[in-house]
Amino acid sequence: MTRGLGRIGIWSIELRFGDPVEAGRAAAELEALGFGAIWVPGAMDDRILADVDRLLDATSAVAIGTGIINVWKVAAADVGGWWQALPAERQARLMLGFGVSHGPAIGEQYGRPLATMAAYLDGLDAAGVPAERRCLAALGPKMLDLARDRTAGAHPYLVTARHTAEARDRLGPGALLAPEQGVILESDPARAREIGRAALSSYLNFPNYLNNWRRLGYSEEDVAGSDRLIDDLFLWGDRDRIAAGVQAHFDAGADHVCLQLIRGAVGSDMAMPIEGWRTLAKMLL
């Protein structure tokens, strides 16, 4: 079940942290192009709810997803107060993804991710944020179980189609499964891998991702950023190869795939990649 997300969406850091006027125009065009959802990251700040409001203002019907709201940065009660103030038609357009982030990013405050997330979901329950309008950035089995039991489902990041298959087995048939998938519009293998490696570099310090790749069978050499890992995490090449990679997620059990256009190191270019998004629309919609 897509929960109003459609089959294919766009995941974009540019829409969150780029120029707000340009982001609004770009969001409106993504809606016009036919993407079912627009996802934006929560990162390491507490301003994501205001930015979701901005994207809701700029669009009329497309779903807006958060990938993710950082539970260490935005209190459940604050999410609940914001949610309750929204009109019903805006609530119906939202899929709120929540995540526990990473120890190296949070510091000494970080600990007990499962218990922390369970307590946070208790807070969302108390604040009246419905389970069907929230999902978790779940990678490992226990967090997937929590996503299945207390939310609409899972929104995994930096995963492969094999992970999608394993996540579907864990979630069961009824839960939402909406993986993020990086796409590099480059056919030259060396250049594509260079771009992918630049994008991946900031994530190689986060144990949550490393451990997930190890569970999927990648070696220590791989999780340091091997060509094999780059090729499995990022889709690159011609239209047929990229389309086949997206379809692999659907074949593995995904309900919705959100595409992140990868151009280099994360956050290095906040200009709207509108031509790339148009290309993806022509390829896949």
Q: Which two tokens stand for residue 228?
A: 């094999």
pLDDT average, residue stretch 2-12: 94
Handedness of CA 208, 209, 215, 219 (dihedral sign): negative
pLDDT average, residue stretch 171-195: 97
Identify the pLDDT of residue 256. 98
Identify the pLDDT of residue 266. 84
pLDDT tens profile 18-64: 999 999 999 999 999 999 999 999 977 899 999 999 999 999 999 99
How many C-alpha atoms does 23 have within 13 Å on its Cβ side? 22
Q: Which two tokens stand for residue 279?
A: 């290309």
Domain ranges, ordered by start, for the chain: 8-182+236-284
54, 70, 182, 200 from 229: Cα distances, Å? 36, 26, 12, 10
Give DSSP secondary structure letters for 233-278. Answer: HEEESSHHHHHHHHHHHHHHT-S-EEEEE--SSTTS--S--HHHHH
Q: What is the CATH number of domain 8-182+236-284?
A: 3.20.20.30
pLDDT tens profile 239-256: 999 999 999 999 999 999
pLDDT tens profile 113-167: 999 999 999 999 999 999 999 999 999 999 999 999 999 999 999 999 999 999 9
Q: Is the pLDDT of residue 103 over 70?
A: no
pLDDT average, residue stretch 3-7: 94
Identify the pLDDT of residue 77. 98
Give the integer Cα–Cα distance in Å for 57 and 198. Answer: 33
Identify the pLDDT of residue 104. 67
Give DSSP secondary structure letters for 48-117. Answer: HHHHHHHHHHH-SSSEEEEEEEETTTS-HHHHHHHHHHS-HHHHTTEEEEEE---HHHH-TT---HHHHH
Instruction: Identify the residue with better confidence: 237 or 266.
Output: 237
Q: Which residues of 190-212 are buried (b: 16+ CB within 10 A; e: fewer)?
A: eebbebbbebbeebeebebbbeb
Q: What is the pTM of this model?
A: 0.96
Nearest of 254, 243, 98, 77 to residue 162 by alpha carbon: 254
pLDDT tens profile 202-242: 899 899 999 999 999 999 999 999 999 999 999 999 999 99
Identify the pLDDT of residue 54. 98
Please give the DSSP secondary-structure letter assigned to residue 152. S
Residue 136: in which H helix or E strand, if any? strand 134-136
Identify the pLDDT of residue 109. 80
Nearest of 185, 188, 173, 191 to residue 253 by alpha carbon: 173
Q: Which two tokens stand for residue 84?
A: 């309750």
Q: How confident is the model at residue 101 (pLDDT cuts 50, 70, 90)?
A: confident
Q: Is the pLDDT of residue 199 over 80?
A: yes
Would you say how long the chain is, in residues? 285
Identify the pLDDT of residue 1. 65
* Three-class SS state of 193: helix
What Rg value do the Cα atoms of the chain yield, rounded?
18
pLDDT tens profile 73-86: 999 999 999 999 99
Residues 6+ apart with CB under 8 A from 87: none
Instruction: Identify the residue with better confidence: 102 or 7.
Output: 7
Q: Which two tokens stand for residue 135?
A: 């999902």
Give the integer Cα–Cα distance in Å for 85 and 90. Answer: 10
